Structure 1
Amino acid sequence: MLLNLLLILSIPFSSSLPAFASKAEADVLLKWKNSLINHNNPLLSSWSVDPTGNLTRVNGTTSTSPCTWYGVECNNHGDVVKLNLSESKLNGTLKNLIFSSFASLTHLELRLNDFFGSIPVEIMYLSKLVFLDLSGNHFSGTIPQEIGMLMNLETLSLHSNNLEAHIPVSLGNLSKLSYLRVDDNKLSGSIPRELGNLNNLMKVNVSVNVLKGHIPSDLGNLTILSELYLFLNNLTGSIPPSLGNLSFLKILVIYKNQLSGRIPDEIGNMKNLITLHSGHNQLTGSIPASFGNLRKLKILDVHVNLLSGVIPIELGKLESFVQLAFSHNQLSGHIPVSIGNLSKLEQMYLNDNRFNGSIPKELGNLTSLVELILFNNQLSGPVPNSLGNLKKLEQFAVHDNKLSGYFPETILNCQKLRYLTLGNNSLMGHVPKSVCNLISLETLYLGNNQLSGIIPQCLSNFSHELKILDLRMNRFHGSAPTTFLKQNNSLRSLNLNGNRLQGSIPRTLINCRKLAVLDLGNNMLTGEFPFWIDTLPEMQVLVLRGNKLNGTLHTSNTKPQFQKLRILDLSSNEFTGLLPSNYFNNFKALMTLDRSASGNLYMGGKFMYDDTVELVVKGLRLELQKILVVCTTIDLSVNKFEGEIPDTIGELRALRFLNLSHNSLSGKIPTHLSNLVVLEHLDFSSNKMTGEIPEQLASLTFLAVVNFSQNQLQGGIPQGGQFNTFENSSFQGNNGLCGFPLTKKCGDDDDDGISFSQKDEDEDEDDGFLNGFSWEAVVLGC
């Protein structure tokens, strides 16, 4: 295949120019060309046959000047001065490009190809080179220190390669250099302080490497520098105050390093600064009041640091502000009312701090605001009515504060809202039907408040966009929303746990084909098990615990069933009959231990909302704020199930928590449970189980808690492994059991021997259940 450099341009070649200089360069280019591969560039197809013969014949009448070739530019003497083969799909090395043959070359541009190998040290022979761009290839090895000999170089762009080792100190010799990019490589070592000698530098980008050490204070000498990018490295130490000398600097990006110490007051001297991004470091101290001098500042991002103190009121002067990001710090005090002056502000992130007091009504003046993120603080009082003026607002997140008052109806005037999260506050009153006018709404999180009344029926049918509907832990009564009629709806998570809802589970949920989390637990729902739910293809978490559901667990007879299900909690209902062995045969997600390392660790986690699940044992309520993908659970406890435990449950190799306690199960404990190699918690207490505890269970190395109490088991307790760590309470109420940890020894002929301590004997079986199966360990596991 042939190269772009072989495509003849329409510019005619002048035979009056010296031919010998071009011929030497042509020979070198042809030799280099023959070492390369072109990947099907249509521009080169005609050169596969070389129709003019100009590149294969050398004689007195045929031009061999490269000046007519694609990507080649010559001066008036016929010397090649520019070679630009960028984005030409070329593959090969620079090994056969003899740089010493191009004494007049000023521009070498090979960006966005597939070149590999090292950058040859012979590049030093390009003494007139002004512009060198090798970016977007696969060059490896070191940056040759010989590049420091190219004294005319103004632009050096080596970014997006696989270059390693240090940035050469010799680059400090390039006194004419104005543009330096070596970002997105694997460079290590420190930033050479010698770069501070390059008084003509206007842009420096060394980001996305593994550089370490301090930011050189010498960079403060670069008085005409306009852009400095140091982000995504391992830089340590403090921000040098000398950077305040960079009065022409417009962009300073140093996020995701390990910088510490205070932000220097001198940064306030950068009168032309537009963007300051220093997030994801370990910066301490307060935000300098001198930032009030940065009148051109549009973006101030210091999120994920250790900053403390208050927001300086001087920031209210910065009328150019577009983004203000202070999240994940230790800032405190009130939100300054002066923030209301920032009429151009579009994004404000103050979440995960210690702000207190009320939300200033002056924020209603920020008519350009698109995102207002205040969650995880200590804000109190009502949501100001003035926020209804924010017609462009798309994201309003104030969950996890101490807000009070009635549901803020005026916020519903913000018709572009996509995320509305008011959960975990102390709001009260009804949710108005007008919430359904928010036709772009994707997340509605009102859980953990004191809201009451009837859930608006329109919430189940008002928007194709709604993905998250979380109303858990309120005081809603009446029926659950029943009109999930739109078959192309986007609902992914529905959580109504902990309300006072009655009636049956709405069958129209069968239309929610993307539903992954359904939590209707701890209500007063009645009726039979909604067998049709097993047809929902994305269902992963199903929680119906703590209701008055009854009947047997029969399936829809539709294949497949619950193939993605990982958490099933039907506990504390009135279900009867046999355990659903047909379901156990279909729980494909619980049968495999293989999980991609690149997959999500938690469910949900989209923007500001995490799916949660609540585990309850005898009044002890423990909420997991995030659901680990590996937190696999089956809880069918406190029902009226009978019969034997199916062997098929032993196929659920990814199961970690299994609770079948407080039923009427009989028969033997299946030996197949030894296949559950990651099982951590096992509770079969308060049933009618007989026979022995299988010795094979001692092989379960992750087993942290077991409870076999209050059954009719007999024989020796398995010894070894985790069974050596369990206490009496795990086995009490089984007079036929013997061996450690019980006081009854195996082989003891005393028929009246007791298998647990007197203290255990005095406890009722409910206490034994609670003590034996510790959900605190579940929280640690999940």
Structure 2
Amino acid sequence: MSRLDRSKLNPNFVKSKRNADASVEMFSPDVNGFSDGQLGEAKSIPQAILKRAATTGNLIFSNKGLTSVPPEIFNLDESIVRDENTKWWEFTDIVTVDLSSNQIAELPPQISNLMALKKLDIHDNCLTFLPHELGQLQNLNRVDLSRNKICKPLPDTFGSLRALVQLNANNNKLPSFGLNDEMPPNVGQLDLSFNDLKEVDRNFALMKKLQDLNLSQNKIVKIAAELSLCTNLQDLDLSYNQLSAVPTELGSLPELLRLNLNNNRLTTFPKFTATKKLRELLLNSNKIESMPEENIEPLSGSLEILLVADNQIKSLPANFDTLEQLASLDVSCNNLSTLPDRLGLLKNLKNLKVDGNPMRSIRQDVLRGGPGAVLKFLRNRLPLDQIDSNKATIEERFITDSKILDYSKRGATEVPDNILIDAEVKRVQGVNLEQNKFSNLSVGFTMLKHSVVELNLASNLFTVLPEVIPHFYNLQSLKLFNNRLTDLPETMINLTSLIELNVSGNQLSQVPPVIYSLKSLQSLSLADNRITDVDPVALKAMTKLDTLDLQNNYIKRVPPELGLCEQLKTLLLVGNPFKRPTFAELNKGTVFVMEKLRNQIVT
């Protein structure tokens, strides 16, 4: 349904026109039109807010103290008072609605009026259920329902959302996720952690494109074998549940990279058959007593991280040295009295934890000496004819003392997995890949997403931002200068901690809209691109931004309203084709230029 097709709108939510001035007087405005936490129960929204939403397609009402959804948002055409200054031809469909961090108890059925809606964020509210009309939004591709009080199953109509690729419903009270034999078929990321699920039923198999499934912190006691039909699954988190066994069919997931079964009630080590890519296997805090050799063998070519701490394991299998890619092993707090000597041949093993075991055959001073001392001790116990010197070599190190992975100036197109594993084990805080030939980053970089705060991808061959970057939730500094980027994806909105962003020397023709949503930014460099204009209203809303570099672009006119961005301490505009401010005026500094711009505003 087109946004302008009013005949199809719910008549109960068609609002009569109202006086714009009276509407504005009801609020104490801030840069967004009203103050955080002051809107309360839905009332008339200021006209400036409505017009802004109608022209940008984005409704942002986060943290406004709302207890219900403002009805105006469902019928913007009727809610906006038009006058001779209204540029109705610039109006567009609403594609993003952000109602997060309020006190909303119910999502009205009229949400179905927003037929063009792509992103719905209503996390941190008081919802207990969802209307079935939500299933009518066939363009919806991202939904965040986390941190509500949803205690009823999601409506069956959710299964018809064919555009949905990401659903976050963690921290609710969902008793199940069965959608009556129909599931959204294109979901790639699904987070149902911290709910009350008791079973993973066969319907999950209907989500053939599922790659990331988080079911941790539930009450799951049973997993349907059909889950193995999700053949694209890469990350499966079943930690902190009540599983006493997992179906053997799960061991045939061909793309599985990470399996987390920590804190369950497993008594046997899982068996893998067709899973040839598994890198991380987490089995801490279970009741596992043994690790059969036949269960270890299929993991020999891929497994890099194995955690089996706090179990009841009495011995490690003799073929443990076949895990040649293993970089991190935690067998602490078991019943081990010794370690197999051939464990010392694992050349990539950098992190080894064995404390909390009744070790009798390895001296305490060796154990206290760390992984290197233990591995050397084990190698020295081997007969000489069993020692392959190649297996004992040490990889070249690229990690500095300041916890920076420096792989710059190498002409490289990728970083070897063993180096990434070493970086993950050492929890590096920075990654420098400057001056290489990267055009993408491998999925292995996601291992670093929790620790890295600085990322330098400058002077490479990126034409689009690598998909792994928006997962670096703690990232504070991102350098992308001197690449071939033409835009930045909306997923960058997840980088809520980003303070510094440098996208100079690319091929941007406009300021990527997602940049205006990065409210933590303090320094933004967009120099040496092809940008023709900026949005001063959106920039003003970036209240922490103090440095903005727009030098050497195609800006023909500097909007006077830019002078209202009083948070800016440094504004660089030299090298653009505008006539005012003049070059001489620009040289007088930011304070002078900002005042000059403010004086041009027609009141």
TM-score, normalising length: structure 2 = 0.49
Higher helix share: 2
Larger radius of gyration: 1
**Per chain length, whose mean CA-contact separation is higher, i.e. which structure has more relative contact order (CA < 8 Å, sep 6+)?**
2
TM-score, normalising length: structure 1 = 0.39
